[in-house]
Chains A and B, each alone.
Chain A
Amino acid sequence: MKDYLDLRVPLRREMMTTVRLATGGVCSAAGMSYDGGEDCKVCVTESLLLLMRRGFVSAQVSFCAAANGGIQVRVTGEEGAAAVPLADEDEIALALLNALAEDVAMDRADDTIRAIVFTFGQQA
């Protein structure tokens, strides 16, 4: 996949299905396996929920081609945000991201997670 896709969504729980469906479509277009696509959906959802719990009211989900094949996903929080310490569910979400995705990285500013970046389906 060489295209660059951008999705801007209000951070509300009812929007998660829409984002998951869009993510599934992108993964399929990128030639990822069914399981890979499902894992990617989980990671995108977890990232959005993490940002939502930090007080963001909207987010941008960007998909682009990764260097060694596969896709890179960047989920960035927009508007709002406060320095909320990591709760148990945040710890689980981060551990889950690390377990499912490759090269998970986070942009932090003022003690708050502002963006989460991860890669899927890379070939070594």
Chain B
Amino acid sequence: MNEEELFRKYRETGDVALRNEIVEKYLYIAAVLAKKFVGRGVDYDDLYQVASLALIKGVDRFDERKGLKFSTFITPTITGEIKNYFRDRSRLVHLPRKVSELRVAIKHASEEFFAQNGRKPTAKELAAKLGVTEEEVLRSSDAGGVVSLDVPVDREGDGMSLHDVLPAEDDVFERVEDRDALESALRTLTEQERALVRCRFGQELSQMETARKLGVSQMNVSRMERRVLQKLRETMKKTMVE
């Protein structure tokens, strides 16, 4: 299938498998372009990821009827995304100007104090010297630069990084509990109801496709689905309370 046919077919069917085929076919463009931007402080892998995501988005937006070659269309799209990434990355964390200035002033004052007294100043002494509150001195020392997620959290060398100890958005233990409750709830269903769950929520088939597979009408599937969900909800609620 040539480029035009491939995109026409995808536009007409919206088939995800076809989209994947297109993405794989043109993934080399993402790789080529990512390489062009290496050496600007961002790893190739990150650039490749940004470029690949832009490629996937671009496949959906491309209209082969406009007579443009896909490579000509997607190159500026990917380039734009990469440049946006550079721009956003440089604006990740910006300290307020006042804090940045105070940090510089603290550094100079500390050096001056050390030269005069032979020891490092306390926060109180720095605050007095700079005419700010002690809290402001402490707060601005905390407002350090960007910290890597890979930085070790202690000096014991047990390999734990900041990333390891930061709480995840979804709690793993909670997920295990949910899964456990769901498994018990599924056992209360009949064989046909379990087949419906597999089709609709495992294989993500439509109600029509599920109906064909189970040999029943779409109306039946719809009714069965409502019943099954209700049953699962009630069983899970009971399990959670216990």
Residues of A within 8 A of B86 (CB): 35
- Chain A interface: which of B32-40, B110-118, B154-162, B219-227? B32-40
A91 to B39, CA, bound (A): 23
Any A CB within 8 A of the CB of B75 = yes
Footprint of A on B, CB under 8 Å? 29, 32-33, 36-37, 39-40, 69, 71-72, 75-76, 79-80, 83, 86
A-B contact count (CB 8 A): 36
Whether A99 pairs with B40 at a CB distance below 8 angstroms is: no
Distance of A90 from chain B, by nearest CB (Å): 10
How far does the alpha carbon of A95 sit from the alpha carbon of B71 in the complex, in Å?
Answer: 8
Q: Give the size of the chain A interface in residues (CB under 8 angstroms).
A: 14
CB-based contact B36/A91 at 8 Å? no
Tell me how far the C-beta of B43 lies from the nearest C-beta in chain A, rounded to whole angstroms. Answer: 16
- 18 A-B pairs with CB atoms under 8 Å apart are A35-B40, A38-B37, A38-B39, A42-B36, A42-B37, A88-B71, A91-B75, A92-B29, A92-B32, A92-B71, A94-B72, A95-B75, A95-B76, A96-B33, A96-B75, A96-B76, A98-B76, A99-B75
Residue numbers of A with Cβ under 8 A of B are: 35, 38, 42, 46, 88-89, 91-92, 94-96, 98-100
Q: Is B36 touching A96 in the complex (CB atoms < 8 A)?
A: yes
How near does chain A come to B47, taking the closest CB pair, in angstroms?
13
Q: Which of A42, A99, A100 is most buried by chain B, counting CB atoms within 10 A of its CB?
A: A99
Complexed CA–CA distance, A89 and B31 (Å): 12
Task: Determine whether the beta carbon of B75 is less than 8 Å from that of A92.
Answer: yes
Who on chain A is nearest to B39 by CB? A38
The answer to whether residues A91 and B71 also contact, given A42-B36, A42-B37, A96-B33 and a CB cut-off of 8 A, is yes
A residues near B69, Cβ cutoff 8 Å: 91
CA A91 to CA B70, docked complex, whole Å: 10
Question: Which residue on B lies nearest to A39, using beta carbons?
Answer: B83
Question: Are A95's CB and B80's CB within 8 A?
Answer: no
- Please name the 4 residue pairs, one residue from A and one from B, whose CB atoms are nearest each other, closest first: A95-B75, A99-B76, A99-B79, A91-B71
State how many angstroms separate the Cβ of A96 from the closest Cβ of chain B: 5
Q: How far is the CB of B36 from chain A (nearest CB, A)?
A: 5
Whole-angstrom CA separation of A91 from B28 in the bound complex: 13
Residues of chain B contacted by A99 (CB below 8 angstroms): 75-76, 79-80
